[in-house]
Amino acid sequence: MKNIDILIIGAGISGTVLAERYASLGKKVLIIEKRDHIAGNCYDYIDENGILVSKYGAHLFHTNEESVWHYVQKFSEWYPWEHKVVARVDDKTVPIPVNITTVNTLFGENITSEEDMQSWLENNRKPFEKPANGEEAVLNRVGEKLYEKMFKHYTKKQWDKFPAELDASVLERIPVRNNYDDRYFSDKYQALPKGGYTQLFDRILANNNIEVLLNTDYFDVMNEYSGFEKLFYTGPVDRFFGFKHSMDEKLEYRSINFVSETFEQEYFQENSVVNYPGMEVDFTRIIEYKHFGNQKSEKTTVVKEFTVDEGEPYYPVPNPRNQKIYDKYKEEADKLTHVYFVGRLANYKYFNMDQAFKNALDLFASLEEKDSENYKAVI
Ligand code: FAD
Secondary structure (H, E, C), 79-146: EECCCCEEEEECCEEEEECECHHHHHHHHCCCCCCHHHHHHHHHHHCCCCCCCCCHHHHHHHHHCHHH
What confidence score (pLDDT) does residue 173 get? 81
Backbone φ and ψ of 215, nearest 5°: 55, 30
Per-residue pLDDT tens digits for 182-218:
999 999 999 999 999 999 999 999 999 999 999 999 9
SS (H, E, C) 132-190: CCHHHHHHHHHCHHHHHHHHHHHHHHHHCCCHHHCCHHHHHCCCECCCCCCCCCCCCEE
User: Could you tell me if 87 and 99 are in contact, meaning their C-beta atoms sit under 8 angstroms apart?
Assistant: no
Which atom of ligand 1 has the smallest separation from the CA of 63?
25
Q: Where are the alpha helices (DSSP H) in the chain?
A: 13-24, 66-73, 100-107, 114-124, 134-142, 144-146, 153-159, 168-172, 197-204, 218-221, 237-240, 320-335, 343-346, 353-378
Question: Whose CA is closest to 201, among 360, 313, 340, 366?
Answer: 360
What confidence score (pLDDT) does residue 378 get? 42
- The reply to whether ligand 1 has any atom less than 6 angstroms from the CB of 10 is yes
What confidence score (pLDDT) does residue 13 get? 98
What confidence score (pLDDT) does residue 377 get? 44
Please tell me the distance from the alpha carbon of residue 122 to that of residue 143, in angstroms, as a whole number: 9
Cα 111 to middle of ligand 1, angstroms: 41
Task: Say if strands 230-233 and 44-46 run parallel, antiparallel, or are unpaired.
Answer: unpaired
- The reply to whether ligand 1 has any atom less than 6 angstroms from the CB of 190 is no
User: Could you tell me if 40 and 288 are in contact, meaning their C-beta atoms sit under 8 angstroms apart?
Assistant: no
SS3 call for 273: strand
Which atom of ligand 1 has the smallest separation from the CA of 343?
52
Please tell me the distance from the alpha carbon of residue 267 to that of residue 206, in angstroms, as a whole number: 36
- The reply to whether ligand 1 has any atom less than 6 angstroms from the CB of 139 is no
- The reply to whether ligand 1 has any atom less than 6 angstroms from the CB of 33 is yes
- The reply to whether ligand 1 has any atom less than 6 angstroms from the CB of 258 is no
- The reply to whether ligand 1 has any atom less than 6 angstroms from the CB of 52 is no
Regions of the chain with pLDDT less than 70: 1-2, 246-249, 371-379
Give me the percent of the chain exceeding a pLDDT of 70.
96
Cα 329 to middle of ligand 1, angstroms: 20
- The reply to whether ligand 1 has any atom less than 6 angstroms from the CB of 198 is no
Starting at the edge strand that comes first in sequence, how are the strands of the sheet with 273-275 ordered? Answer: 92-96, 85-89, 273-275, 285-288, 300-308, 253-263, 315-316
What confidence score (pLDDT) does residue 203 get? 98
Taking the whole predicted model, whether its pTM rises above 0.85 is answered as yes
